[in-house]
Amino acid sequence: MIASPYLLYLGAAVDPLTVKTARGIAQWRPDRCLGQLRLPGATVTLGLEDLDVAEAARRGARTLVIGEANAGGRLSPDAIPVVLAALEAGMDVASGLHQKLSDVPAIREAALRLVRRLTDVREPPADLTVGKGVPRAGHRLLTVGTDCSVGKMYASLALERDMRAAGLRADFRATGQTGILITGEGAPVDAVIADFISGAVEAVSPARHDDGWDIIEGQGSLFHPSYAGVTLGLIHGAQPDALVLCHEPGRPHMRGVPGHAVPDLAVCLERNLEAARLTNPAVIAVGVALNTSALAPGAALELCAGVSEALGLPCQDPVAHGTHLIVDRLKSCFAPPLSVASAGR
Amino acid sequence: MIASPYLLYLGAAVDPLTVKTARGIAQWRPDRCLGQLRLPGATVTLGLEDLDVAEAARRGARTLVIGEANAGGRLSPDAIPVVLAALEAGMDVASGLHQKLSDVPAIREAALRLVRRLTDVREPPADLTVGKGVPRAGHRLLTVGTDCSVGKMYASLALERDMRAAGLRADFRATGQTGILITGEGAPVDAVIADFISGAVEAVSPARHDDGWDIIEGQGSLFHPSYAGVTLGLIHGAQPDALVLCHEPGRPHMRGVPGHAVPDLAVCLERNLEAARLTNPAVIAVGVALNTSALAPGAALELCAGVSEALGLPCQDPVAHGTHLIVDRLKSCFAPPLSVASAGR
């Protein structure tokens, strides 16, 4: 668990894309964010209060989060003195970069000396085991996708928000780096040893007995020739009761692999259900989440209506429309037996 | 590439199961095996000449292979002086144990000092990349299975032998630890980082332009809740033209996971073909390999005939019967166009 509240380090960012991770944290967990730290020259802001390390520490910041990703995923030299200052001020440091924090000798030494925690969220937990496929208690919803980067994390977080608003217990379970920084825990399933994919997901969403839901962040796609193995292991480990299919319309081909067509939505959904039945034969689909950010609002609504009609499922853009229709469907499909009986009278 | 010829270390083995790896090497690559090294008390033999390190080195042994697996996969204390003697005598050392050779300080120091190579075949190559799914030249056959440990490696090696006997160019491509020790190269796909599963298989079976076949060793099963992710990534990376389905009749449930039934052969084959079409839409099945070691010879032949009839494919036990019927089917399905035209006249 990464301790909050966070101080989000943005460096001297001038390109909003380089602070995507920090923006995700600020958007979905504003309560975990105490402020942002920017260097001279930065033009990007998350709308948080600008704090330096000393002031953030004084106000109780527990972790400096490296929220800037430069090309190559390396820690920029500018960041190193800030990281060292944060450690000296009593804070832990967390990063989603490729380069490990502890690979910088000065940082490693300071953290050891000061007994602070360095968290590299690309590093999987050390104590993983193989998945067992044994049915476990609790409800689980998994987001799956036609492709990589179609909005599975955003859909999952929107579902958590909207399920809570609808009176359900719901907890986002992170399986990727940004998700782990957002929620403070999870496992990067694409970075675990191949034998442990399903086991990592079983560990991320253990049995629960409070009638609540785990909303498990999906990864990749069964139709992506590079990453489908990760996706299948994730599906099996999740043992989902419910799937939400995520899709971004208009892609010319699967991400990064020209020549590989994006699958048809109905075919993709059926293949995901088929895969999920191995560890939960009762799995059903409860909705479709579209990323319509490239469309005009009217066209987006029209597209959602068409997909909804074609698949017989509620279809929404989680960012533009929320996910209340999908949550309604989920509630009606998983209503407790007593309520069903009452409704029938 | 692990240099041969090998000296196979069997320790003081009294249980044939503990030398399974060494037996596989001796059976499938007798030309790579110079002899066996046994300690006092050993009752198990591979039928090779007993040699000590000095004599083996004198006769040109290049690598000492730790061919004994004790419980826990640790190097037994008895083995350490033998390993050190082999290094001193100019040999490399290779092991399929969980414990890395270089984790034993005396071994690590001797190898560094003498500039000898320590190979732990559970360690994946360091330079892997993600799979790209780009169609590549050459023919590839992949063994897939209803379950783990149903004979995929043996079927692959028998196919290599019988395809060569039938005049085809064919090369076994190892994806597991024993296979890597048998053939001297390969990648342990279950031990790579999850994102690199398909990329590792692409690297193990690169494009070839000699009209020959790569026989790729399958792993796991699409129906195994612990390992299916590895299997799917392996299928996608292999881009197989031909599949051979491997099965051991009579299992009460999937290996290690009571409650998970072994899939129907026809369903399993169709699901594997469906998965393989993502990177090779032209993939076909060419046969079924049964491990009938638990059956009487007559019952084994009867079962093969029944499976062959039901699936419309040749079906043999690779160990008891060989794979010539499967090779015949492969040759007829992949005959060069000219031959097909000639046959039609």
Verify whether the Cβ–Cβ distance B233 to A236 is below 8 Å.
Answer: no
Residue ranges, comma separated, of all CATH 3.40.50.720 domains in chain A are: 6-120
CA distance B73 to chain A (A): 16
Verify whether the Cβ–Cβ distance A225 to B133 is below 8 Å.
Answer: yes
Tell me the C-alpha distance between A307 and B179, whole Å: 48
Burial of A26: CB neighbours in 10 Å, binned 0-12, 13-18, 19+: buried
| pLDDT number for residue A340 | 47
| pLDDT number for residue A149 | 94
Q: In the structure, what pLDDT confidence band is assigned to residue A70 with cuts at 50, 70 and 90?
A: confident
Contacts with A191 from chain B: Cβ below 8 Å? 193-195
| pLDDT number for residue A69 | 78
Contacts with A226 from chain B: Cβ below 8 Å? 130-133, 195, 198-199, 236
| pLDDT number for residue B340 | 47
End-to-end CA distance of chain A: 47
- Architecture of the CATH domain B6-120: 3-Layer(aba) Sandwich (3.40)
Three-state SS annotation for chain A: CCCCCEEEEEECCCCHHHHHHHHHHHHHCHHHEEEEEECCCCCCCCCCCECCHHHHHHCCCCEEEECCCCCCCCCCCCHHHHHHHHHHCCCEEEECCCCCHHHCHHHHHHHHHHCCCEEECCCCCCCCCCCCCCCCCCEEEEEEECCCCCCHHHHHHHHHHHHHHCCCCEEEECCCHHHHHHHCCCCCHHHCEHHHHHHHHHHHCCCCCCCCEEEECCCCCCCCCCCHHHHHHHHHHHCCCEEEEEECCCCCCCCCCCCCCCCCHHHHHHHHHHHHCCCCCCCEEEEEEECCCCCCHHHHHHHHHHHHHHHCCCEECCCCCCCHHHHHHHHHHCCCHHHHHHHHC
Q: What pLDDT digit, counting tens, does each position of A127-184 carry?
A: 899 999 999 999 999 999 999 999 999 999 999 999 999 999 999 999 999 999 999 9
Contacts with B199 from chain A: Cβ below 8 Å? 226
For residue A202, is pLDDT > 90? yes
Pick B139-342's CATH classification: 3.40.50.720, 3.40.50.2000, 3.20.20.450, 3.40.50.300.
Answer: 3.40.50.300
Instruction: State the pTM of this model.
Output: 0.94
Contact indicator for B223, B262 with CB cutoff of 8 Å: yes
Collect all residues with Cβ–Cβ distance below 8 Å to A310 and sequence separation of at least 6. A265, A266
CA distance B271 to chain A (A): 10
Collect all residues with Cβ–Cβ distance below 8 Å to A102 and sequence separation of at least 6. A108, A111, A118, A120
CA distance A214 to chain B (A): 20
Of A261 and A344, the one with more pLDDT: A261
Tell me the C-alpha distance between A100 and A119, whole Å: 9
| pLDDT number for residue A338 | 59
Q: What pLDDT digit, counting tens, does each position of A85-128 carry?
A: 999 999 999 998 888 999 999 999 999 999 999 999 999 988 89
> pLDDT > 90: what percent of chain A?
91
CA distance B100 to chain A (A): 16
Can you tell me which residue has the tokens 């070691």? Answer: B293
Verify whether the Cβ–Cβ distance B198 to A260 is below 8 Å.
Answer: no
Tell me the C-alpha distance between A163 and A165, whole Å: 5
Residue to mutate among A230, A253, A268, with most B CBs inside 10 A, is A230
| pLDDT number for residue B338 | 59
For residue A345, is pLDDT > 90? no
At residue B141, φ and ψ (nearest 5 deg) are -115, 135
Verify whether the Cβ–Cβ distance A195 to B195 is below 8 Å.
Answer: no
At B195, is the secondary structure helix, strand, or coil? helix
pLDDT tens across the length of chain B (345 residues): 999 999 999 999 999 988 989 999 999 999 999 999 999 999 999 999 999 999 999 999 999 999 887 767 789 899 999 999 999 999 999 999 888 999 999 999 999 999 999 999 999 988 899 999 999 999 999 999 999 999 999 999 999 999 999 999 999 999 999 999 999 999 999 999 999 999 999 999 999 999 999 999 999 999 999 999 999 999 999 999 999 999 999 999 999 999 999 999 999 999 999 999 999 999 999 999 999 999 999 999 999 999 999 999 999 999 999 999 999 999 999 987 654 444 444
Q: In the structure, what pLDDT confidence band is assigned to residue A343 with cuts at 50, 70 and 90?
A: very low
At residue B76, φ and ψ (nearest 5 deg) are -75, 150
Rounded to whole angstroms, what are the CA distances from B149 to A11, A298, B143, B313? 52, 55, 12, 22
Of B98 and A11, the one with more pLDDT: A11
Of A345 and B259, the one with more pLDDT: B259
Rounded to whole angstroms, what are the CA distances from A35 to A15, A38, A59, A60? 19, 10, 10, 11
Verify whether the Cβ–Cβ distance B195 to A133 is below 8 Å.
Answer: no
Facing residues of B287 across strands? B244
CA dihedral B214, B220, B221, B223 (to 10 degrees): -170
Residue B40: CB atoms within 10 A of its CB come to 6
What length is written for chain A?
Answer: 345
> pLDDT > 70: what percent of chain A?
97
Average pLDDT of chain A? 95
CA distance B57 to chain A (A): 37
Contacts with A234 from chain B: Cβ below 8 Å? 229
Sequential DSSP letters for B263-307: PPHHHHHHHHHHHHTTT-TT-EEEEEEE--TTS-HHHHHHHHHHH
Burial of B220: CB neighbours in 10 Å, binned 0-12, 13-18, 19+: buried
Verify whether the Cβ–Cβ distance A225 to B236 is below 8 Å.
Answer: yes
Strands (E) across chain B are located at 6-11, 33-38, 63-66, 92-95, 118-120, 139-145, 170-173, 213-216, 242-247, 284-290, 315-316
| pLDDT number for residue A342 | 47
Tell me the C-alpha distance between A183 and A3, whole Å: 10
Residue ranges, comma separated, of all CATH 3.40.50.300 domains in chain A are: 139-342
Verify whether the Cβ–Cβ distance B233 to A198 is below 8 Å.
Answer: no
| pLDDT number for residue B314 | 98
Give the chain B residue nearest A133 (alpha carbons). Answer: B225
Which tokens in the block code for residue B89?
Answer: 């005598």
| pLDDT number for residue A98 | 86
Contacts with A195 from chain B: Cβ below 8 Å? 190-191, 226-227, 230
